């Protein structure tokens, strides 16, 4: 559906799932989508897992040549909450030392749980200057209405991230992290 419209997105993949479905990720990479790290096992939320460093580093090792050069990383959250516990000081240490780029979000319309996610997403996009929209490529999530959403969205779709959603860029902390630390 993205290719049919000439669009490129980013896929943040869970390391364990990548072991089973690597061919899909390879295809996405070959078609110009950016591939990022979304932890090894998706602890919810990452910053309270106690194994953050391993989660980040083991998933990056799984990505190998698929990894974006900026070492894109999205922490696993709990239902999309940008809340304390999303990161931890150990996770931040690992991300800065490893020169990762931490990509957060500003719109999570709930595609995995609510068939009305399209209307929610359109409202979220209309309400802000630059939306970083998180959708889920898992069973029962965005696929059923993705094409309809793409037809209805009244905004330019770009692959880059709004700077406000990137608090760590190639290892440098560029935005306050306090809101995500407990």
Binding track over 131-160 against Zn ion, x by CB under 5 A: ------------------------------
CA distance 56 to 101: 12
Nearer to Zn ion, 49 or 76 (CB): 76
Nearer to Zn ion, 66 or 134 (CB): 134
CA distance 59 to 83: 23
Report, in Å, the least distance between residue 151 CB and Zn ion: 26
Binding track over 54-93 against Zn ion, x by CB under 5 A: ----------------------x-----------------
Q: Got the DSSP string for 15-53?
A: HHHHHH-HHHHHHHHHTT-EEEE--SS--SSGGGSS-HH
Report, in Å, the least distance between residue 178 CB and Zn ion: 22
Report, in Å, the least distance between residue 4 CB and Zn ion: 26
Nearer to Zn ion, 76 or 88 (CB): 76
CA distance 113 to 150: 19
Nearer to Zn ion, 10 or 76 (CB): 76
Strands 10-13, 34-37: parallel, antiparallel or unpaired by DSSP?
A: parallel
In degrees and rounded to multiples of 5, residue 126 shows phi and psi of -70, -25
Under the rule (CB under 5 A), what is the footprint of Zn ion?
Answer: 76
């Amino acid at each position: 559906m993205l290719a049919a419209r000439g669009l490129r997105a980013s896929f943040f993949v869970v390391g364990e799932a990548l072991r089973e479905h690597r061919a899909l990720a390879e295809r996405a990479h070959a078609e110009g989508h950016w591939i990022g790290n979304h932890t090894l096992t998706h602890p919810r939320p990452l910053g309270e897992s106690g194994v953050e460093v391993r989660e980040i580093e083991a998933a990056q090792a799984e990505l190998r040549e698929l990894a974006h050069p900026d070492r894109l990383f999205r922490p696993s959250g709990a239902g999309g909450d940008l809340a304390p516990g999303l990161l931890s000081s150990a996770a931040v240490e690992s991300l800065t030392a490893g020169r990762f780029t931490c990509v957060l979000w500003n719109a999570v319309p709930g595609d995995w749980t609510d068939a009305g996610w399209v209307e929610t997403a359109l409202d979220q996009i209309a309400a802000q200057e630059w939306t970083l929209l998180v959708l889920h490529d898992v069973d029962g999530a965005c696929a059923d209405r993705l094409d309809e959403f793409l037809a209805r969205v009244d905004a330019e779709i770009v692959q880059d991230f709004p700077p406000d959603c990137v608090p760590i860029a190639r290892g440098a902390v560029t935005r306050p992290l306090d809101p995500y630390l407990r």
